[in-house]
A and B are shown apart, each in its own frame.
Chain A
Amino acid sequence: MSATTDLVPYDEAVDRYDPVLGIEVHVELGTVSKMFDGAPTEFGAPPNSQVTPVSLGLPGVLPSLNGKAVESAIRIGLALNCQIAELCRFARKNYFYPDIPKNFQTSQYDEPIAYDGWVEIELEDGTPVRIEIERAHMEEDAGKNTHVGGQAGRIHGAEYSLVDYNRAGIPLVEIVTKPITGTGARAPEVAAAYVRYLRDLFRALDVSEARMERGNVRADVNVSLRPSPDSPLGTRTETKNVNSFRSVERAVRYEVSRQAAVLDSGATVTQETRHWHEDTGITTPGRIKSDAEDYRYFPEPDLVPVAPSREWVAELHGTLPEVPAVRRKRLQGEWGFADAEMRDVVNAGAVDLIEATVAAGATPAAARKWWMGELARTAKTDGTDLEQLPITPEQIAELQGLVDSGRLNDKLARQVLAGVLAGEGSPEQVVAARGLEVVSDDGALVAAVDEALAAQPDIADKIRSGNLGPVGAIIGAVMKATRGQADAARVREIVLERVGQG
């Protein structure tokens, strides 16, 4: 590995070369059990506590296919406008690595469950880009290696490795694009937008939690350069396991700059796997890519073929949700949000929450105010996501209803919200338990006003003589006496009535 790598500034690189992308996205399906056995799939469990003899590849075990995983794979294929195979098989991909306990990965080879699809994604400025899908196939995830000794976690110089097989056997669907051409300088943006599109799609299909930070969605990014769009495809590199949208964008930029420098120097790009380094924003070479035959693929003899009936496929087609990008556009129109507002809502992951809040009776503006205001601040402070907050859209709609009916003012509503978040029950229950209702009983308010006037006779006199300046002091005293539960405007009216200025 050379210490420094020559780079051509990105703009110059795409001026001289035409980048071509190929993206492989792995998504972990959100099934409760693994692909080929009943081991649970809980995230974050202690190492090797989610394994069965099948997960460990112990001698004599047999796989048993998770029907839900097949269903999810078909739904993903349909959502990508793919053909669904009439009959397909699993195959063994043989290689030796400690995270693969059987010494082969059960995958699909020449008979993927879904093939020949396309999606139309949209860049941030609204430019549509059509991405052709080569195939989507089913396979199982590998375990997790931790390298011990040597440089922190890096394989080079490690003394030994520790393996956790909790992830081994979790169902995956791998989606492979055809070469993506014609992006020009926007290749990094296209790559990131495509991965984001898929992430949103997996969530809309409810086939995966699709949490990038947990590695539920992982992208391998192939990049090659050619002198012009008419030239044959250049030699590609594959940067593995790029796990955020921003990293996808950066990894493509980096590879374009690096490969341009290699080609400028008259050398050729080496076909290889490269590793992405999040901290430094560079890629470094991994192994030289094996020929497919090195994996010695052959049909998995322990699993019978999958032959989805056309009736089943049609039935699953009927369960497909609206395409996320289309849905977003529709909702933005219905809600009347500006582009920037909608973008913030999308980025905050608040689309579903606002939709549910509106469905529960709140106005779009009120729903947005709560989720993007007080609740977004709470989520940020707690370091969590909006959807993880212990409050439901129905509760927000109920809270807003209390404000709209005049039973709560904004300040009280925030206290009620805090009560709901603290697990004290529904907004109504918090109002009752904490006694937080706006005091609208005039009798109680008149008494409080009289008391405040009597306690501050100087101020009462000033107001009586027509100087309305100090009215605020009396209102403040009443608000304090009612613990903020009075309607300030009504208090002002009563003060003026009581001193004869009303």
Chain B
Amino acid sequence: MSTISRDEVARLAGLARIDLTDAELTRLAGELDVIVESVARVQEVATDDVPATSHPIPLTNVFRADVAEEPLTVEQALSGAPDAEDGRFSVPQILGEEA
């Protein structure tokens, strides 16, 4: 029984900006299906009295003091940028999706 459709994989790929071929979409739909089914089996045994785990190490409240560090220089910050202008990263035009 397939729970993940090719269309869903295509939509997720679009959201994640991953370009997939038709063959890859089909293959990934099958592979994701296996993962989802495995998780579904875990969910069957995970009852309400088992809290969800997001971290394997039982730690909480790890805080840093509010102290400023020496930042990078502007030159260092921009050193890996393909293009820069006026101390800023230059990026291609952004079309139709202002956040």
Contacts and interface: CB of A to CB of B under 8 A. Distances in A.
Interface residues of B, number: 39
Contact of A41 (B12, B55, B63, B68): B68
Contacts of B63: 65-67, 70
Instruction: Name the interface size band of chain A.
Output: 35 or more
Contacts of B55: 299, 301, 304-305
A163 interface: yes
A305 B60 contact: yes
Contacts of B73: 49
Contacts of B64: 33, 38, 64-67
B77 interface: yes
Interface string A290-305: 0000101001110111
B86 A38 contact: no
A457 B90 CA distance: 83
B57 to A, nearest CB: 7
Contacts of A304: 55, 57, 59-62
Interface in A275-293: 275, 286-287
Contacts of A142: 99
Contacts of A165: 77, 89
B93 A39 contact: no
Contact of A287 (B15, B65, B74, B97): B97
Contact of A158 (B77, B88, B93, B97): B93
Contacts of A38: 64, 67-69
A40 B68 contact: yes
A392 B84 CA distance: 44
Contacts of A155: 94, 98
A85 to B, nearest CB: 11
B85 interface: yes
Contacts of A145: 94
B97 A33 contact: no
A52 B71 contact: yes
A297 B88 CA distance: 29
A160 B93 CA distance: 4
Nearest to A95: B99
Nearest to A56: B77
Nearest to A295: B15
B89 to A, nearest CB: 4
Interface string B75-99: 0011010000111111111101111
A48 B89 contact: yes
Contact of A39 (B15, B69, B74, B94): B69
Contacts of B88: 47-48, 146, 162-164
B38 interface: no
A99 B67 contact: no
A66 B66 contact: yes
A458 B64 CA distance: 83
A39 B89 contact: no
Contacts of A300: 54
A67 B65 contact: yes
B62 A50 contact: no
A286 B98 contact: yes
Contacts of A64: 62, 64
B72 interface: yes
Contacts of B17: 96
Contacts of A296: 12, 15-16
A31 interface: yes
Interface in A146-176: 146-149, 155, 158-165
Nearest to A155: B98
Nearest to A162: B88
Contact of A49 (B69, B71, B92, B94): B71
A87 interface: yes
Nearest to B87: A47
Contacts of B87: 46-49, 164
Interface string A56-70: 101000001111111
B92 to A, nearest CB: 6
Interface in A73-120: 87, 89, 94-100
Given A96-B17, A304-B60, A306-B60, A161 B72 contact: no
Q: Which 6 A/B pairs are nearest by Cβ-Cβ distance?
A: A67-B63, A38-B69, A68-B66, A299-B54, A162-B88, A40-B68
11 contacts: A39-B71, A49-B87, A52-B71, A64-B64, A65-B63, A69-B66, A155-B98, A163-B90, A287-B98, A296-B15, A305-B55
Interface of B: 12, 15-17, 54-55, 57, 59-69, 71-74, 77-78, 80, 85-94, 96-99
Given A38-B68, A65-B64, A163-B89, 18 more contacts: A32-B67, A33-B69, A46-B74, A48-B72, A48-B77, A49-B73, A64-B62, A64-B64, A65-B63, A149-B93, A159-B93, A161-B92, A163-B90, A273-B98, A275-B98, A286-B98, A304-B55, A305-B55
